[in-house]
Structure 1
């Protein structure tokens, strides 16, 4: 955009725009804001995540610390919320979110299976994460038949460099000029990416074993049938969209016809822009998938009716499919979700304790619990540190009591064999610290707003006291009952057990 000014002789002269005329790097008017709710992002985010996971240091951090396998929908919701904050117009919110992300990543370090160290605050690795997001956004536009023009691409690249600068204090690990970025991206793809375990999990295991979101949790047969069809297709589409040099080096197969299918998927996702705007808001879609019929959200009534229809469809599907074998009587009855019955020890281990989904309980699992609780409550540094320290104390107590073979982690078999009472002093400390973090005003009870911040729903009838608050003793008792009694269908399930 140019502006007209008057010359001394009275003629008009065109001058280039100044910095004050440029579109904003953050908030409404930015390229990111225009594309954030685009349905094509669903495909682009999967592609970007695979490219991130293929970086050895990032892949090792994901395998050791991330909950994307066991709790993908929760991870998706938190990721979208974080990106919304980071690219929002409020600089204070952006600074606070950047500080939270930096604290979160500072707690993730270790070595991969080949003994190579990784650190989640490594600036080169973080630059690669931002690079994959930018390149996948450009690629999604190209594959859907609506490529970005050069000016829009330049502007988007400036936004992503500003995003990296907001995290790291500067963006020097991404090239300053866009033309140099493409050489940087190609070099990393060709020289550094590997067929890591994390990348294989995303491409093959994640889609094949993706747990149902809360919306579809009551219709496992219908979800499994749909997943069996969509999962392999999504994996094939993602592989076909990856850079050819990486596919070749990683030995990823490309089946005939899949490139055409991939193109069609991106074009179809792009056509969704003609749907009503409310249906395209990413957070609204994720919130809807997270709703349960027992929620106080007005949309829950629609969800309940939809689930009833899906349950009827699932019943019809069961009539058309072979019968499953009868359950072993020794296994006992299956606990029904939401009825308050006790989980089996194996279910509790898988749904609650094993947050990373690797089949073991160790520190990253408890750190993931602390991370989710701190994220929900938007804790500052002192409160967050106290919560992590409380969970670290609980881990030391668990390790001492349950790690029979001394390998530094607790297997499902070790846990099931012990069937311990987990409500020791360290877990009581966790409950007390969590209560204090939730009780923002420090008045000794959790009010309705504080309760919603933690549980994302209104008070349950069975946890309120006469004055309408949630007393400390009741909170601690309920938390210990959930963590040691292994009861399903409580207010605490959405915190740590939901997918």
Structure 2
């Protein structure tokens, strides 16, 4: 694969430290730019359909944010081997995403023109970000940065031929796609009008529902308005997106304010640390969780104070205390049972329905396989075994639970059956995970291997007995989570947390 490592005329590397792309990772303006780019991506019919069918960004947005950030860092790593390995992983992931949208139009996540559009939105949004924040790029800098983005596409596709070689031609290409191809897709509407308004709390704010609901009620509409105002006018007209009065001024103020952070001392803003703090569970055994736990305690106190001072009645989510006493022991109840087990409905919503569309089908289980393979950084053979095992599990579930024959399982169908999900296929899923952990192929997992698995994939440690962990014990623990629906499992941060 061609990795696009050729430099510009001065032979400056296009990847790694010193590139414009890498500098944006810790730039607060980049958060606004990425949201804008995501909307423009989702407006493309092919991308919008793929997101609507396969993405977990609605139910698990913080997990999606972390995975995207890690992947982008890998794709711009100075080591070609790291870039090639990540590109191969992304290509395997995208090769599994194809189908048709609600109008019967086919989509394929490996379509080269569509992938080029995704890269184009990132470049154009970065240029727009600099302009809106009062730091417009000069022509030479823009040319240099465009070369970096074309190299990124080349690392994925083998060449950058789907993007114009000349920057002047790029702007004509970009305007043509905006005016002729973009639509007001379902994915765009979800991002602008559902995701921001119903964004689940990150792990840091879990347990502070009032504080989160109040903040979300203010910030959500503002983010939506800022994003719409920053989109190309041609697309806003084509999609019929309303622009709120004063939104342009608000958008410019947001970008200018974010741009002022350039005056902070170097190293004060660490995007990786911020994302980990948001996604790391306070009860994790990761050493960094001590700081998160301290912040979490303060957030809970602030939330309790806000609850006393403000008669807030927003959507704060289910009350854990009420859930624990409502319908306890009833299979279809939404609360927890007295022995600490999840109810069937809660398990369906938090674990099985990964895409958040209210139904269980193959994209949900594919998302589980994708998350496990990503966290464990599995090579192709083990990754394929994992996907095959999840596909077999889906066939078992569909045969047992799809009573109306519509090709998917509803929450009611699942809750009514209250099945034991520990079938042969799910056992094979657990065995693939065991084999990935048993690095020395000894047939047992020693304490170090066991800690490494949960530290790497789930930011958790488990205490082993006797210094080793055999296959049956490992499989039993995994099944107790997936079939027994027990709470406080080390798998919760991976498959249940947002």
- TM-score, normalised relative to structure 2: 0.92
Ranges in structure 2 where 5+ consecutive residues have no aligned partner: 1-6
Q: Does 1:60 align with 2:49?
A: yes
1:438 offset after TM fit, Å?
2.5
1:428 offset after TM fit, Å?
0.9
Q: Does 1:229 align with 2:218?
A: yes
Q: Does 1:313 align with 2:312?
A: no
| 2:107 aligned counterpart, secondary structure | strand
| 2:221 aligned counterpart, secondary structure | helix
| 1:118 aligned counterpart, secondary structure | strand
Q: 1:452 aligns with which of 445, 451, 455?
A: 455
- Distance in 2, Cα, partners of 1:415 & 1:231: 33
- Distance in 1, Cα, partners of 2:297 & 2:64: 27
Q: Label 1:386 to 1:340 Cα distance change in 2 as closer, same or farther (>3 A).
A: farther
Q: For residue 168 of structure 1, what is the aligned residue in structure 2?
A: 157
1:138-172 deviation line (CA, Å, top 9, x unaligned):
11011100111111110110111111111111111
Q: For residue 256 of structure 1, what is the aligned residue in structure 2?
A: 245
Q: For residue 189 of structure 1, what is the aligned residue in structure 2?
A: 178
Q: Label 1:419 to 1:92 Cα distance change in 2 as closer, same or farther (>3 A).
A: same
Q: Label 1:435 to 1:276 Cα distance change in 2 as closer, same or farther (>3 A).
A: farther
| 1:68 aligned counterpart, secondary structure | coil
Q: For residue 82 of structure 2, what is the aligned residue in structure 1?
A: 93
- Distance in 2, Cα, partners of 1:317 & 1:336: 27
Q: Label 1:212 to 1:323 Cα distance change in 2 as closer, same or farther (>3 A).
A: closer
Q: For residue 11 of structure 1, what is the aligned residue in structure 2?
A: none
Q: Does 1:494 align with 2:497?
A: no
Contact 2:133 2:256 in 1 (8 A): yes
- Distance in 2, Cα, partners of 1:474 & 1:411: 31
| 1:218 aligned counterpart, secondary structure | coil
- Distance in 2, Cα, partners of 1:227 & 1:264: 19
Q: For residue 394 of structure 2, what is the aligned residue in structure 1?
A: 395
1:109-150 deviation line (CA, Å, top 9, x unaligned):
000000000000000100000000000011101110011111
- Distance in 2, Cα, partners of 1:91 & 1:139: 29
Q: For residue 480 of structure 1, what is the aligned residue in structure 2?
A: 479
1:267 offset after TM fit, Å?
1.2
| 1:40 aligned counterpart, secondary structure | helix
Q: Does 1:283 align with 2:286?
A: no
- Distance in 2, Cα, partners of 1:482 & 1:85: 31
- Distance in 1, Cα, partners of 2:458 & 2:473: 15
| 1:173 aligned counterpart, secondary structure | coil
Contact 1:105 1:120 in 2 (8 A): yes
RMSD: 2.0
Query: Which deviates the most, 176-185 or 328-337?
Result: 328-337
| 2:291 aligned counterpart, secondary structure | helix
Structure of higher CA gyration radius: 1
- Distance in 2, Cα, partners of 1:401 & 1:336: 25
Alignment of 1:332-481 (within 5 A): 332=328, 341-443=340-442, 444-445=444-445, 446-457=449-460, 459-461=461-463, 464-467=464-467, 469-481=468-480
1:274 offset after TM fit, Å?
3.4
| 1:294 aligned counterpart, secondary structure | coil
1:454 offset after TM fit, Å?
2.3
Alignment size in residue pairs: 477
Q: Does 1:238 align with 2:227?
A: yes
Q: Label 1:438 to 1:20 Cα distance change in 2 as closer, same or farther (>3 A).
A: farther
Contact 2:435 2:441 in 1 (8 A): yes
Contact 2:286 2:455 in 1 (8 A): no
1:295 offset after TM fit, Å?
2.2
Q: Label 1:229 to 1:23 Cα distance change in 2 as closer, same or farther (>3 A).
A: same
Contact 2:285 2:459 in 1 (8 A): no
1:47-77 deviation line (CA, Å, top 9, x unaligned):
0000000000110000000000001111111
Query: Which deviates the most, 417-426 or 60-69?
Result: 417-426
Query: Which deviates the most, 268-277 or 154-163?
Result: 268-277
- Distance in 2, Cα, partners of 1:323 & 1:180: 52
Q: Label 1:426 to 1:238 Cα distance change in 2 as closer, same or farther (>3 A).
A: same
- Distance in 1, Cα, partners of 2:473 & 2:312: 44
Contact 2:204 2:278 in 1 (8 A): yes
- Distance in 2, Cα, partners of 1:125 & 1:447: 41
1:264 offset after TM fit, Å?
0.8
Q: Label 1:323 to 1:134 Cα distance change in 2 as closer, same or farther (>3 A).
A: closer
- TM-score, normalised relative to structure 1: 0.92
1:29 offset after TM fit, Å?
1.8
1:320 offset after TM fit, Å?
3.1
Q: Label 1:154 to 1:20 Cα distance change in 2 as closer, same or farther (>3 A).
A: closer
- Distance in 2, Cα, partners of 1:293 & 1:129: 34
- Distance in 1, Cα, partners of 2:8 & 2:19: 14
Q: Label 1:137 to 1:377 Cα distance change in 2 as closer, same or farther (>3 A).
A: same
1:439 offset after TM fit, Å?
2.3
Alignment of 1:194-209 (within 5 A): 194-209=183-198
